[in-house]
Structure 1
Amino acid sequence: MERLTEHVIVISFDCLSAKDFEQIQKLPNFQRLLEGASYCRNVETIYPSVTYPCHTSIITGNYPMRHGITANTLVQPGRDSPDWYWHRRHVKGTTVYDEAKKAGMSTAALLWPVTARAKIDFHIPEIFANRKWHSQTAVSLHNGSFFYTFEMNRKFGHLRQGIQQPWLDDFVTAAASDTVRTKKPNLMLVHLVDLDSQRHQHGFNSQEAMDALRRHDERLGKLLNAIEESGIAEKATVIALGDHSSLDEHTVIKMNVLFKDSGLIGIGKKGRVTSWKAYCQSNDGSCYIHVSDPLVKDRVQALLYSLVSNPKNGIETVYDSVEMQQMGANGDAAFMLEAREGFYFSESLNGDAFELIQDVDVASGLYTRACHGYSPKKSGYETVFIAKGKGIKEGVILPAMSLVDEGPTFARLLGLDLGEVDGRVLNELLAD
């Protein structure tokens, strides 16, 4: 297959929404990228629209049900901090970086989700120390490229404050820029999280979120400068994208509190889960309901539909396993719940089942939290895709596309093939 470019550099701005497009058009480095670029500001995400399933869909071209990353976290009932789908071994099938490696190309990935222990040449995975006896440095070194990670931390570790934002993204940008200049990888995947973090903590339209967009513009400028300084600009394709949007919240729904009160979750003397027959696995704007005992499934279903009947409970839809599979989500769960706008799900077992978020004033539009995980069919919930450089036509504006179209398009640019996938190659963007 003909190769259309020598280098594909993908920059994921986590939680970059189509609603941000007007703003980024005014920022100098996004303007610089958009000049002569092709783009889509109506990219449909996947379900559930959380970071790990999204980023795996981006680099496989498949929906979660097919690639296996159906949530951010594993099902670990009652655990305060469940483990995430950090490792490459969880992904079913191939990825763009696997195919690039097979073809003898050099690869790099910085904080790209679900890549721990992947065969990537220059690699710092997104994984955090989730045990009291673990250190962040040791976890990163063990799961990525040891000497590369060590060198990047030696050069730029002073920019970090652990894994806190915005400092972590500053570290990633510095490491990615250095890698472009010195390694010139054929495929680079960069994941920046500052915007998503600020929206989670302060709300969608908060000043903190707007400040993060400006910081992202500066980071984009540094990466574009590095590409030019490396001498590969004429042979490279730069892609900037988002993975999902987010929505402001005023109320948290704790399904596990209801299950506990209904005798479906057993709690020991120390407040820990000792047994469960039904359990809510949160995706924030949606959740999976797992049922371990088939004898209680009808009872659980009746409870769920009784909640949906009252809009004040915040549950918009109940999906069964067949409907979940049709949407590309986890068909192994018994049910999936979609929250109404303004509501989100927690796995908490404590407090009231429905709790208003503190410091939220809906009447005045003051929100202090936003999240995602909702259905891609939610109105105004689209994300963004921008492509420019070698192998890309200038000025093509796509009216619509899907997140699963991105991986097949990256592969085609590099002369690779992901095989039979859910997405398609965006041929209308590709230069002859």
Structure 2
Amino acid sequence: MWLKIALPLFFLFGQHCLCEAHIETHTKNPRVLLISFDGFRWDYVELAHREGRKTPNFDSLIQNGVKAKWVKNVFATKTFPNHYTLVTGMYEESHGVVGNEMYDPVFNETFKMNNFSQECDPKWWNNGTKGGGGEPIWVTNQKDEQSLERRWSGVMFWPGSSAKVHGVHPYHYMDYDASLPNKTRIDNIVKWFSAKEDPINLGLLYFSEPDGLGHSKGPESLQMIDMIVALDRLVGYLIEQLKAYSLFESINIIITSDHGMAQIKSSIKIDDTVNSSTYKVYGSSPIWNIMPSDGLQEEVYEKLKKIKHLTVYRKEDIPEKFHYKHNRRVLPILIAADEGYSLCDVNHLPCQEIGGNHGFSNDFKSMHPFFIAHGPVFKRGYISEPFNSVDVYPLICKILNIQPAPNNGSLDNIQHILKLIEHKHGPRQLFGFTVTAVTFLLVVLFAAMMSGICCIAACRVQRIHTHHLHPHLVKLGSVHFGGNMRLLTTDDDEDDYEEEIP
């Protein structure tokens, strides 16, 4: 009887489990391509649509994949810090890259994003932190020892990729060259994925637009609409190349950005209020780390507090929500302009007219980037609620089936955009057993339990039936079948009762 119950249940539950868990990845090591369009705001595609312009390639990826309403990036909303957050899953105070320009008091040296020798120096990516500097995803991928295949990373121009972080370079990488055409960048990354020997399973690709145009013309300009359409065509070229090498259906593509862009309406001249000889500035508008001259910290702070459209913090008073102050590269005073304002002074940054800027508080929606994902592990036609940029690192680790390094992100915040993943190099396990084995064991135990319950019930039915057939033999306190016999009082008495029936 229990076999009749167990076998159908086994096929039902086992088949359901396998169907729900399996997803085609076409490779033992799933592939991920992470792309950043610098300064691509969360609503740029919609802006193009409102102007009657078409973006068929972005639209196709969204219709057949995932789009987040927006992404909450990290404070300060600058290029190097946010790109490094995407690949480490750490806030700026933890990974230590707190600005495009930053002063390290231990090194007694100032990092500047256009200084190539500094970009290649691991000390800027490994030190100055509470959390050990973080581990870029290209390092995590190549360090993985659990895979059945060797894993290789290829990185095209991502901040930090030219340095040997934790003693590891990406297997393929190129030092930044702004003059390299965008299509050539795509050709290189596709070549690394399609190589016959040592193909990469993780690629990172960086484009400098639409950030440059956002600075010069502003995010609301007609030129920006033209740029979004041009970038859509670039995505179309990427799709064509991936399809030409039979890669498109197997690669999980994530397209995102580091920050958004806000229209600039006015400038704040700091040295109109505070003598520029009493402080030094590190960083770029609209957020500055300020080092006051010796003995003048309180004086500089009080004068800065008088300036309109400016928020001034002592280091210890920086709100915890920014996850910014616990790092030696954050200096005694931090100033941040209100949205739409620029900072300038005669010694550090002369006042100039610009169309747009970023770096404002990540509470402002104008600072939020976009997020599109497409591939075998992602849901189709799915619009996600916002999540955090620190969550992207654990997401990629999940897709690649690798163990993430310590980070500030949360897979729980973002894994809803995924289908259930079954990696081809082995079935899912629970406590050391395959899901199918566990399912079968549970069904057998369930059937055995049901069999026991049915046997007990049958015995009780037989007893009651016998009593009804011989009511004249039943007396209160005793049962007679031509002789004295005690009343059944426990389940254990049932066996004795059956033996004594003539």
**TM-score (norm. length: structure 1):** 0.76
2:206 to 191, 210, 217: 191
Asked whether the 8 Å contact 1:41–1:382 carries over to 2, the reply is: no
1:259-289 Cα shifts (integer Å, max 9, x gaps): 5x3541xxxxxxxxxxxxx222233222212
The aligned residue for residue 132 of structure 1 is: none
The aligned residue for residue 268 of structure 1 is: none
The aligned residue for residue 172 of structure 1 is: 185
Instruction: Return closer, same or farther for 1:168/1:252 CA change in 2, 3 Å cut-off.
Output: farther
Give the Å deviation of 1:72: 0.8
Matches for 1:129-144 after TM superposition, within 5 Å? none
Give the Å deviation of 1:350: 6.9
1:179-233 Cα shifts (integer Å, max 9, x gaps): 3444742111011112101111121122332222122111111111222222233
* Bigger shift: residues 180-189 or 103-112: 180-189
1:284-323 Cα shifts (integer Å, max 9, x gaps): 2222122363x2111111111121xxx3xx31x2123234
The aligned residue for residue 428 of structure 1 is: 416
Q: Secondary structure at the match of 1:406?
A: helix
RMSD: 2.9
Instruction: Return closer, same or farther for 1:389/1:263 CA change in 2, 3 Å cut-off.
Output: closer
2:369 to 374, 379, 383: 383
The aligned residue for residue 405 of structure 1 is: 391
The one-letter amino acid paired with 1:37 is G
- The separation in 1 between residues aligned to 2:64 and 2:355, in whole angstroms, is 36
The one-letter amino acid paired with 1:189 is L
Instruction: Return closer, same or farther for 1:18/1:393 CA change in 2, 3 Å cut-off.
Output: same
Q: Secondary structure at the match of 1:30?
A: helix
Give the Å deviation of 1:109: 0.9
Answering whether residue 141 of structure 2 is matched by residue 100 of structure 1, we say yes
Asked whether the 8 Å contact 1:14–1:196 carries over to 2, the reply is: yes
Matches for 1:264-413 after TM superposition, within 5 Å? 264=278, 278-291=279-292, 293=294, 295-307=295-307, 311=308, 314-315=309-310, 317-324=311-318, 326=320, 327-331=322-326, 332-346=330-344, 348-349=346-347, 355=351, 357-358=352-353, 368-413=354-399
1:99-155 Cα shifts (integer Å, max 9, x gaps): 1111231111111112213411111133xxxxxxxxxxxxx7xxxxxxxxxxxxxxx
The aligned residue for residue 114 of structure 1 is: 160
1:238 to 235, 249, 253: 253
The aligned residue for residue 202 of structure 1 is: 217
The one-letter amino acid paired with 2:226 is D
- The separation in 1 between residues aligned to 2:201 and 2:385, in whole angstroms, is 29
2:115 to 83, 89, 93: 83
Instruction: Return closer, same or farther for 1:174/1:236 CA change in 2, 3 Å cut-off.
Output: closer
Q: Secondary structure at the match of 1:279?
A: strand
Asked whether the 8 Å contact 1:61–1:408 carries over to 2, the reply is: yes
Number of residue equivalences: 361
- The separation in 1 between residues aligned to 2:348 and 2:316, in whole angstroms, is 31
Asked whether the 8 Å contact 1:257–1:351 carries over to 2, the reply is: no
Q: Secondary structure at the match of 1:194?
A: coil
1:51 to 79, 88, 96: 79
Give the Å deviation of 1:234: 3.1
Asked whether the 8 Å contact 2:318–2:324 carries over to 1, the reply is: yes
* Bigger shift: residues 17-26 or 194-203: 17-26
The one-letter amino acid paired with 2:66 is S
Give the Å deviation of 1:348: 4.8
- The separation in 1 between residues aligned to 2:272 and 2:195, in whole angstroms, is 53
Give the Å deviation of 1:27: 0.2
Could you say which structure has the greater relative contact order, defined with CA pairs below 8 angstroms and 6 or more residues apart? 1
Q: Secondary structure at the match of 1:234?
A: coil
The aligned residue for residue 30 of structure 1 is: 58
Gaps of 5+ in 1: 127-139, 141-162, 265-277, 359-367
Q: Secondary structure at the match of 2:296?
A: helix
Asked whether the 8 Å contact 2:256–2:371 carries over to 1, the reply is: yes
Give the Å deviation of 1:177: 3.8
Instruction: Return closer, same or farther for 1:106/1:263 CA change in 2, 3 Å cut-off.
Output: closer
1:125 to 165, 168, 175: 175
Asked whether the 8 Å contact 2:264–2:341 carries over to 1, the reply is: yes
Instruction: Return closer, same or farther for 1:263/1:112 CA change in 2, 3 Å cut-off.
Output: closer
Gaps of 5+ in 2: 1-21, 126-132, 145-149, 421-502
Matches for 1:52-67 after TM superposition, within 5 Å? 52-67=80-95
Q: Secondary structure at the match of 1:392?
A: coil
Give the Å deviation of 1:24: 6.0
Give the Å deviation of 1:59: 0.3
- The separation in 2 between residues aligned to 1:320 and 1:387, in whole angstroms, is 40
- The separation in 2 between residues aligned to 1:227 and 1:80, in whole angstroms, is 36
- The separation in 2 between residues aligned to 1:80 and 1:32, in whole angstroms, is 39
- The separation in 1 between residues aligned to 2:255 and 2:62, in whole angstroms, is 10
Instruction: Return closer, same or farther for 1:77/1:99 CA change in 2, 3 Å cut-off.
Output: closer
- The separation in 2 between residues aligned to 1:117 and 1:21, in whole angstroms, is 34
Give the Å deviation of 1:176: 2.9
Instruction: Return closer, same or farther for 1:71/1:350 CA change in 2, 3 Å cut-off.
Output: closer
**TM-score (norm. length: structure 2):** 0.66
Asked whether the 8 Å contact 1:280–1:347 carries over to 2, the reply is: no
Give the Å deviation of 1:40: 0.6
Bigger Rg, which one: 2
- The separation in 2 between residues aligned to 1:79 and 1:321, in whole angstroms, is 20
The one-letter amino acid paired with 1:391 is V
Instruction: Return closer, same or farther for 1:323/1:105 CA change in 2, 3 Å cut-off.
Output: farther
Asked whether the 8 Å contact 1:182–1:230 carries over to 2, the reply is: no
- The separation in 1 between residues aligned to 2:184 and 2:190, in whole angstroms, is 10
Q: Secondary structure at the match of 1:66?
A: helix
- The separation in 2 between residues aligned to 1:219 and 1:235, in whole angstroms, is 20
- The separation in 2 between residues aligned to 1:105 and 1:24, in whole angstroms, is 39
Asked whether the 8 Å contact 1:41–1:383 carries over to 2, the reply is: no
1:16-51 Cα shifts (integer Å, max 9, x gaps): 111213146640111121122112122111111011
Give the Å deviation of 1:342: 2.3
The aligned residue for residue 147 of structure 1 is: none
The aligned residue for residue 133 of structure 1 is: none
Instruction: Return closer, same or farther for 1:117/1:394 CA change in 2, 3 Å cut-off.
Output: same
Answering whether residue 32 of structure 2 is matched by residue 8 of structure 1, we say yes
Q: Secondary structure at the match of 1:213?
A: helix
